[in-house]
Structure 1
Amino acid sequence: MAILPLNSTTLMVCLCLDMRSDSSIITGSIVFTVAESPLKARAVLISVQGQGRTHWTVSERHTNTQSQTTHRTVTYSATCPYAEGEAIVWTPSQGGSSGLIDVGIHKFPFKFLLPGNCAPSFEGTHGYIRYFCKAKIDRPWKFDHTTKQVFTVVPTFDLNLLPNASLPVQSTQSKDTGFFFFKSGNIKLTARLHKGGFVPGESISLHTHIHNHSSKSINKIDVKLVEVSRYTAYRNGQTVTEGCIVSRSSQQRVHKRNVTQIEERLDIEKGSDLDLPLLIPIPPVAPTFNLCSIITVEYYLKIKATTSGAIGSKVSTEIPVLIGTIPIRYHAPIQQSPSPWQTPYPDLPQGMPTPDSSLPINDFGDAPPSYEECVFGAGTIKDEDDNKGFAPRYVFYPNINPSAPPLDK
């Protein structure tokens, strides 16, 4: 526990998530030292705040009646509040407007209950979802002592509550390679997953089948796990709440970034086939979510095969992937109601039979997950107080075994 000098305070926050209910409790303490002489103060306060925010600017061109062209910058932004509260942890004992805090070490514990509908912490290109506590020593006629601590919120997303998450997924793409009079034949690419839901720390078991009926050899396959974040903002700004209807003044932005990328060199000669199994590891990332009115996050696998030809030499396909916080257990009771903070979800495309009932239960040892720093690092969007390079920490299973059934099943 750090003890800092008089001109500074430190806020120590421990986030405790109740994984068995919809409540989240923040507990912590304000700790500071008064040195040399008593400190005159009106109160010691603690506050908690959580919100989603999107922001960007657009340059617009305008022409007046004299055919003169001007440009102006228009701001698009939106705020979605999730939590806001304040509590007084110390006041003068005599009931006066101010009092003295004695020399020495002082510790003031606090506790807050977050609402059950909070979206997960997220740092993106055009927006963020952040939660923080702020401590303040209110001093009369002087600058207040303040400090802020950002923390991560990760609601429970149990993949066992979504029936489609445990079902196989398949996608096929067929393409005539070449260009106009230089056609080189057809390539068929099929990608299969044994299930659609995974957790960070797990590896996605991907099976690809490449059918090369072209006159060129296939020399490479690329696989990417891609995060897609979607942002909504309003001209000149707006505060929105859950379930808010998107108005005509809103604008959307979409950003994609690669979570994991694998490249394999191949040699599939013309007229031949290849079955290729691959494992794609999932690092610490935010779970799939669509709870927030202004920010949503989803994932998909992009599989691309490349031939030795120079023109029209690529064929690719995509498979959506759900990322949760509790892994799938085969034989676990599947409830028909989705997770209360993750509804609704689009159905995953299905092209394979359901898992064999004789398969064993997914074994991850019932060991609790760790919480690891997001693979994308700290957010880049600054707020009024600056997030000081804070990076969210997400659920991560470091020793989980692949939970997909064998291909021959």
Structure 2
Amino acid sequence: MSRSIKEFSLHYDPINESNTFTTGDIVEGRVVLEVTKEIKVDSFFVKLRGDANVRWTEGSGDDKTTYSDHERYFKLKQYFIQKSSKRGKREKNATLVEGETYGPVIRPGSHVFPFRFQLPQQNMPPSFEGNHGWVKYVLMVKLSRRWKPTSTKYTELTFVLRNDGSNDHFLQPQSGTQDKKMKLFGSGKMSMTVTSEKTGYMQGETIRVFVDIDNSSSRDVRLKYSLKQQQMFIAGRSINAGFKHIIKETRDRIPSGEKSKCIVDMMLPRDLTVTIENCRIIKVQYQLKISLGLSFASNPAVIFPVVILPTDQQCPPWQGLPRGFQPYSPPQPSLMPYPGELPPPTSGLYPNLYTPSVLPHPGAAAGVYPNPHAVQSGFHPAPSAPVYDPNQSTK
């Protein structure tokens, strides 16, 4: 920073306790500039941008290939001081916001320059940072002088999706049944019916599923359940994808010839990344899997998609249980019985859980999950996520 500039800072006003913003919100703040002597300014402006970016490298040596892509959602710009040659002219890919206009000479002392933006009313993905990409909403101020280094400051805003009441499908329960007839290493058959309370859950909430097991086989089985996250980074036709388990547990044994009804509760981390479906180059999805563990045989499983929402968009729980969901006598050890009868779940909800407009690819809701073109071996190693460059795509 120049010796003539004593302070150059950027501040915005939080609008809620969580310090988040969403579609249509007003972003207000100020730039504080304190100078020790008179300076002449060529250009002085503040801007707010929303962008997504992906970048990763595969191979090594001569076979090394870098993949990247970028998506811009908006760029808003408010000038405090603008070059006379540019006044009244439009700027490519930028929306100019009117504000107070100041002269090119700034006298000694402390000066406050207020700004005000309104976030666009459009469908934009939430803030995100992953192994190979990010979605960021950045507030930046830039002061340019002739023959002097440019002074720049920036800060990030946390953008979340708005709950506008149009996501009623998040409240719908899901139900699925899986049967297995033993052929090798056993005889008889087993069946499992799984019902979840709903489709959408907020960060920190508990996923509750009801499992009805009839083990009429000659084998003992164990109930297993997991919640798996998939992140996909897309650059043209290239996809870098990987999985990680958020929750993975095994419950008590269900002996041969016995039945069991139990409730499985899975508490979600409060900092869990929310689902991202509305970004062209980044997807974050979740898969809930309930299975019966068998040695030397394939495990029958029921798989549901799950949507993770921000903490301020809680979906009320589904007020119902499968009909006749009573504990068998005696109940299995450590399996939580749920007393009472309640109406049956609505049928026909699975697999059509998402609106077609937000599906990452045809058939995703029907269990073609993840994308068959995605890499299945886990996230590719990377030293860090792509670093935000304030000078990237600024023109």
1:84 aligned to which of 75, 80, 103? 75
User: Are the counterparts in 2 of residues 54 and 232 from structure 1 also a CA contact under 8 Å?
Assistant: yes
Shift in Å, 1:115: 2.1
Counterparts of 1:39 and 1:289, CA distance in 2: 46
* Residue 63 of structure 2 is aligned to residue 72 of structure 1: yes
Matched residue, 2:232? 230
Q: Secondary structure at the match of 1:164?
A: helix
2:185 aligned to which of 182, 186, 203? 182
Q: CA RMSD in A?
A: 3.8
Q: 1:258 to 1:32 in 2, by over 3 A?
A: farther
* Residue 252 of structure 2 is aligned to residue 266 of structure 1: yes
Q: Secondary structure at the match of 1:132?
A: strand
Counterparts of 1:21 and 1:144, CA distance in 2: 31
2:303 aligned to which of 307, 314, 318? 318
Shift in Å, 1:286: 4.5
Shift in Å, 1:156: 0.9
Matched residue, 2:195? 192
Residue identity opposite 1:156 in structure 2 = R
Q: Secondary structure at the match of 2:63?
A: strand
Matched residue, 2:151? 145
Matched residue, 1:166? 171
User: Are the counterparts in 2 of residues 127 and 231 from structure 1 also a CA contact under 8 Å?
Assistant: yes
User: Are the counterparts in 2 of residues 119 and 155 from structure 1 also a CA contact under 8 Å?
Assistant: yes
Residue identity opposite 2:155 in structure 1 = Q
Counterparts of 1:284 and 1:297, CA distance in 2: 14
Residue identity opposite 2:245 in structure 1 = N
Counterparts of 2:72 and 2:267, CA distance in 1: 34
Counterparts of 1:107 and 1:258, CA distance in 2: 49
1:103 aligned to which of 109, 114, 132? 109
Deviates more, 1:281-290 or 1:225-234: 281-290
Shift in Å, 1:319: 0.9
Shift in Å, 1:138: 1.7
User: Are the counterparts in 2 of residues 164 and 347 from structure 1 also a CA contact under 8 Å?
Assistant: no
Counterparts of 2:10 and 2:146, CA distance in 1: 21
Shift in Å, 1:169: 0.6
Matched residue, 2:289? 302
Counterparts of 1:172 and 1:88, CA distance in 2: 61
Counterparts of 2:248 and 2:229, CA distance in 1: 15
Q: Secondary structure at the match of 2:277?
A: coil
Shift in Å, 1:132: 0.2
Encode CA deviations 1:245-290: one digit per residue, 9 max, x unaligned.
Answer: xxxxx2233332334x152541321111221212222334454343
Shift in Å, 1:91: 6.7
Shift in Å, 1:184: 6.2
Counterparts of 1:155 and 1:288, CA distance in 2: 10
User: TM-score when scaled to structure 2?
Assistant: 0.66
Matched residue, 2:32? 31
Q: 1:274 to 1:86 in 2, by over 3 A?
A: same
Report the count of equivalent residues.
310
Shift in Å, 1:108: 1.6
* Percent of pairs with identical residues: 24
Matched residue, 2:321? none
Counterparts of 1:382 and 1:196, CA distance in 2: 34
User: Are the counterparts in 2 of residues 227 and 297 from structure 1 also a CA contact under 8 Å?
Assistant: yes
Counterparts of 1:22 and 1:50, CA distance in 2: 12
Deviates more, 1:44-53 or 1:288-297: 288-297
Residue identity opposite 2:193 in structure 1 = T
Encode CA deviations 1:24-65: one digit per residue, 9 max, x unaligned.
Answer: 32222212443x5445533432112111112223449xxxxx
Shift in Å, 1:72: 2.8
Q: Secondary structure at the match of 2:169?
A: helix
Encode CA deviations 1:83-102: one digit per residue, 9 max, x unaligned.
Answer: 11322224799987x52342
**1:361-372 paired onto structure 2 within 5 Å:** none
Q: Secondary structure at the match of 1:182?
A: coil
Matched residue, 1:49? 49
Q: 1:212 to 1:167 in 2, by over 3 A?
A: same
User: Are the counterparts in 2 of residues 120 and 286 from structure 1 also a CA contact under 8 Å?
Assistant: no
1:277 aligned to which of 243, 255, 263? 263
Counterparts of 1:343 and 1:172, CA distance in 2: 27
